[in-house]
Each structure stands twice: as C-alpha cells, then as structure tokens.
Chains A and B, each alone.
Chain A
Amino acid sequence: MTSMIRVRNVTKSYSRGGETLKVLNGLNLDMDEGRFYALMGPSGSGKTTLLNLVGGLDHPDSGELYVAGANLADIDGAELARWRADNVGFVFQGFNLIPVLTARENVELPLTLTGLSRAERRKHSEYALELVGLKDRMDHRPRQLSGGQEQRVAIARAIASDPKVLLADEPTGDLDRKSAEQVLDLLARLNQEFKKTILMVTHDPHAAARAQSIVNLEKGELGRIDHNVPPVAAPVR
C-alpha cells in the first residue's frame, strides 16, 4: 500500500503574546492511501495543526510534507489553492456552510473550480447530496437544516469534486449521538466504498473506534498508533 500522507521532521510554531509556542516538534508519520485514520490526543497536542498542514491551509516551519504526491512545503499561493481544490475535502466541527447559499449551492461551490458545465455541476452536487441522504433538502438553506443534516451537507461538499483525501476536524463534536452516528457511518462508507483516505481529528474514543487506525499525538510528537481497528460501516439512514 502506498503512502498518501508522508510527514518528515515537520515542525510548526505559533507566536502568541510575544511567546513562541512549539506545536509540532519534528513529527514523522506515514498514512496509507485508502485508510481511515483517527487523530487523537489531548488539547494542544497539535492535532488540528497537523490537519491544517496536511490540508494545505497552513505551512510547516520546516520539514517535508507530502500529500497526494505533492510536497506542500514547496507550493504556495494560487498553486496551493488549486492543489486543495483537486485533492482534499474538508469537514469541520462547525460545518462551515455558507449561510446565504442553499445546500445544493454549497455543494456546488468547489465544483465551480473544476471547469464543469453548469448542468454537470448540478448533476454532481445532486449526486453528492443523494449519497449523504439529503437530496430532498437540497434547496434548503443551512439554517433550515438540523446540525446533523448540515454536517452531511458539508460532507457532500467535501466529496463533490472527488478528492483523494478527506480531512475531518471533530466532525461529530457539535452533534447529538444519533446524528454523530450517521456522520461516522457516512465517513466509514466513503472510506470503504469510495476508497477515500480519511484523517479525522477527534476527542471521542467512540468516534475514533470507527477508524482503521488511531494515531495519538502527544505534545507535538507522535505517540502510539493502534492499527487494525475493525471498521464499522452501516447504511446511511
């Protein structure tokens, strides 16, 4: 199995109030293509920072970071934006849908960067919404949806342009148990059926148990990795 994500000696620091805070401290990590990873660790251990670096939302201070074949330390600006559009889909804890757009328009948003025709974009977005079980809500605005439905729309948006990697930051953090289960089922299904490489930051051991590997971070360094956690996928309700 090939590495989808390869992290080599990556460091990342932030300045806060004149003080430098080292978040990632020479991190080394490999993640295989098509696997579902949960990233765990205490607050401040660097989980979200790593997720942002892997998604090209931020730059490492040093080290090499290969994701989907590209060294993200070497690309910037418009090239990095293009890479994000082509290779990664984000699912955030707060859903991060654009409130003034409908569910379908939100899902269609990343497709406007693909060169697809309007009709094709519409077809793709409807398919993605069907996949998450929300085709009947496609003309609803985010505020007209429940939290769980919003997160499923966010997942539809993340997969609409068929990226290789899905990055989820506490995707169930703001959801009730039932909605959280639906979202986790969906992620597991995307991993199993569509072979998406998924990296999910979570504090919730129950959510982490749905992944195939659990990577633990401690103070910016790699801790224990638990492999072969049996994936649990259930049909989307």
Chain B
Amino acid sequence: MFKLVWQNLIAHPIRSVLTAASVCIAILLLCLLRSIVTTLDAGIQASSAARLIVMSSVSLFVDMPISYQQRIATVEGVTTIGKWQWFGGVYQDPSNFFAQFAVDPEHMFDMYPECELDQASRERFLATRNGCIIGKQLADKFKWKAGDKIPLTGALFPHPDGGAWDFEVCGVYTSKAANFDDRTMMFQWKYFEETLRAGGQDPGVGVYIFRTAPGANVERIMSEVVAMFANGPMSVRCAPESEFQRMFISMMGDIPMLLGWIGTAVFVALLLGCVNTMLMAGREQIHDVGIFKALGFSNAAAFRILIAQSMILCTLGGIAGIGLTLALKPMIATAIAAMFPVFLVETSTLVLAVVLTIFLGVAAGMIPAWRASRLKPVDALRAGA
C-alpha cells in the first residue's frame, strides 16, 4: 500500500516537490520567527530579579547626571550600583559593529556574576586605565586576545584629540546566561570620563544598574528612587532588569505579536495551498478510488490512501524545514548578532514544528480523503470514466 501511495506522489513530481518545498519554507519561517521570539524571551527570563535599572524618564537615549549614583546608593536596600554608558565607537569600518559600554569595573563582576573572567584578567582590567574586556564571540570574530590594542573612532563621543580611542584588551570573558551578551566590549569608566573632561565635555550616564539586598522590598526601592529625582534635574524611571529588557524590545514595536501574526498568516496561507493541492490530487484519483473499492478495499482504506499522501508530502517538507532551520542557525545567529547576543532554536520550537507539520498533513488531506471514503464505488468509477 505504501508503494501505491508513493507512486501516486512521484507520478506528479513537480507538484509534489513544489508542495513539499512550500511546506519546507513555511516550517523554516515558522521556526525562525518563533526562535526570534524565544530568543527575546530568553533574555527576559534570564534577567535577575535582584537587578534594577534606572534610566531617564524621557528616553533611553537621554543621559542622567553622574551625581545620581551616590544618591541612589543611599536608598535603603541598594547594595551595589554601577554606571553604564553606550559608547557607539567604530572599529575600522561601520560594518564591524559591536556594542561597547563604559562601565564601573569595580562593580561589574558583583553586578553580573554571569560574566565569567579569570581573576588575573579582572585585576588587569581594574589596574589598566584604558583597559577593556571583550566577550568570547567578539574575540573570536576579530581574533583578539589579551594584550591587543583596539582603536575605536568615537561616533557619539569623539576623542578630544580628534584621533581614535585606544583600548587594551585585559581579558576575554564568557557568558553563562542568555541575557548577558558575549559579543560586547566593556571598558573603564574612568578613562571615558577623564578623556571627555579633558576635552571640556561633561559625560552623562546612560543607565544605572544596581543590586538589592536579599529580601529587600523592591517596590519600595523603585518608588524611592523615582521620587528622589521627581523634581529634576532629570526625572527617572526605575524598573527590574526583565522589565527593562521588555521595554528595550518594545522600542522596536510589539515584536512577538507581529511575528505571531506573520507566522499565523504564513501557516494559514500554506494550509490553504496544501488543501488545494490535495483536493486536486484527490479529484485525479477518484477513479482509482472506485477501482480500489471495486476490488474490495473499504472506505477506511480509501481514506488512508489519500491522507497518507498528504501526510508524506507534509512530513518530507516539515523535516526539510526543520533541517534547514538547524543548518541555517549559525548563519542567522551571525546575521542578527548586532541585535541579539544569541539565537536560540529551542526544542519546544522543533516540537511545535513537528506538531504543525502533522496537523498540516492531516488537515490538508482530510477533505479529499473524507470525500473519497464517502463515495459509492459505482459513483467513483463513473466520475473518473
């Protein structure tokens, strides 16, 4: 029986290949769209509940005064606080984009235990005025190692001399969690601040990140921080890290919802296409169905023959789509590296792809198979004659 089903499929090779290819592309697209959503979500899930972010209430792109650091540190329950500033430097060419932040190195590793760096490198980072640490993927990409010099042209913060900012690699860190990017460079706040001040500029702070004591009332702390600066000079917003991640993502729009709608639209369009193909196949095989029934095959057997064709086509397409997703994963991860530190194709996404493939196979084959099973043999023989 399998041979019969298979022969019917290869009797129309172009149609079968095109149908399987459309399923393949749709499953690939669904896997990719869902992986982007899960990648975004992974960053949020991995965020620490004990870490809070303070930013300007106007926008993430508006700086806060440096003086805020000491005042926030006085709020009861705040244990460690550090400054972060987006640097936006260019290495040789804008296409070599990677994120750089000026940070307080002394708080960096307490704040982010997920950032792993050996003790010697930490000490070198603290001791080197223009020192920086870089993530492993970044180091691999540019073949950088400890001791290398990285010249960056300051796009947002031009060097007062008019030349490049020179940084020295003190160590290469690895990341233990999805929320901590290992394609980033972090460098000494002191170097950043002193250089700008030497040029007559007054640097601001992009975000303050602080940790709270275990058992601290986070709601109270956030309220106090916001109230502290309510009357200026710059009012702030304070949120847990996960909320901040969500906010950051929502700056690009409601990505999960948008991707969800695109995915649903793709799936529905594909379903209609597959149903149409299977209806055509079913119509062509009505006469054969009549022959099967005349030979003694039951209605259920006629149903199975038609639905098996749909299942095989969709399964082959689905497997190819899943395979292609896994094969393209490294390339996609590289392509979106500027936006997302990792690209996660979760097992749940692959399971969902399998479930959707099976659903597609059953749903597309259901109508022709049901029709075939309901036909009286004499009508089926007459219809195809």
- Given known pairs A57-B376, A78-B300, A110-B296, the reply for A101 and B381 (CB within 8 Å) is no
In the assembled complex, the Cα of A94 lies from the Cα of B288 at a distance in Å of 12
Question: B294, A90: Cβ atoms under 8 Å?
Answer: yes
Min Cβ gap B137→A in Å is: 52
- Among A29-37, A81-89, A187-195, A217-225, the stretch in contact with B: A81-89
Task: Give the residue name and chain of the B residue nearest to A95 (CB).
Answer: B291
B8 part of interface (Cβ distance < 8 Å): yes
Number of interface residues of A (CB under 8 A): 28
Known contacts A57-B381, A77-B299, A109-B295; 5 additional CB pairs below 8 A are A78-B298, A81-B297, A90-B295, A110-B296, A157-B295
Task: Please give the residue numbers on chain A whose beta carbons come within 8 Å of chain B beta carbons, in ascending order.
Answer: 52, 55, 57-58, 77-78, 81-86, 90, 92, 94, 96-101, 105, 109-110, 112-113, 157, 161
Residues on the B chain within 8 Å of A52, using CB: 378
Are the CB atoms of B4 and A101 closer together than 8 Å?
Answer: yes
- Distance between Cα atoms of A90 and B296 in the complex (Å): 10
**Which 3 A-B pairs give the minimum distances between C-beta atoms?**
A85-B296, A100-B7, A81-B298
Q: Which residues of A contact B376 (CB under 8 A)?
A: 57-58
**CB-CB under 8 A for A99 and B11, given A57-B377, A112-B1:** yes
Interface residues contributed by chain B, number (CB under 8 Å): 26
Which of A83, A86, A96, A112 interacts with B291 by CB under 8 Å?
A96
B51 at the interface (CB under 8 A from A): no
Inter-chain CA distance A83–B300, complex, in Å, is: 15
Chain B's closest residue to A53 (CB) is B378
| Closest-CB distance, A44 to chain B (whole angstroms) | 15
What are 26 A-B pairs with beta-carbon distances under 8 A? A57-B378, A57-B381, A58-B376, A77-B299, A81-B293, A81-B296, A81-B297, A81-B298, A82-B296, A82-B298, A84-B294, A84-B296, A85-B296, A90-B295, A92-B381, A96-B287, A97-B291, A99-B11, A100-B4, A100-B11, A101-B4, A101-B7, A105-B4, A113-B296, A113-B297, A157-B295
Tell me which residues across on chain A come within 8 A of B3, comparing CB atoms.
Answer: 101, 105
Please give, as numbers and ranges, the residues of chain B lying within 8 Å of A83 by CB-CB distance.
296
Interface residues as binary, B5-38 with A (CB distance below 8 Å gives 1, 0 otherwise): 0011011000000000000000000000000000
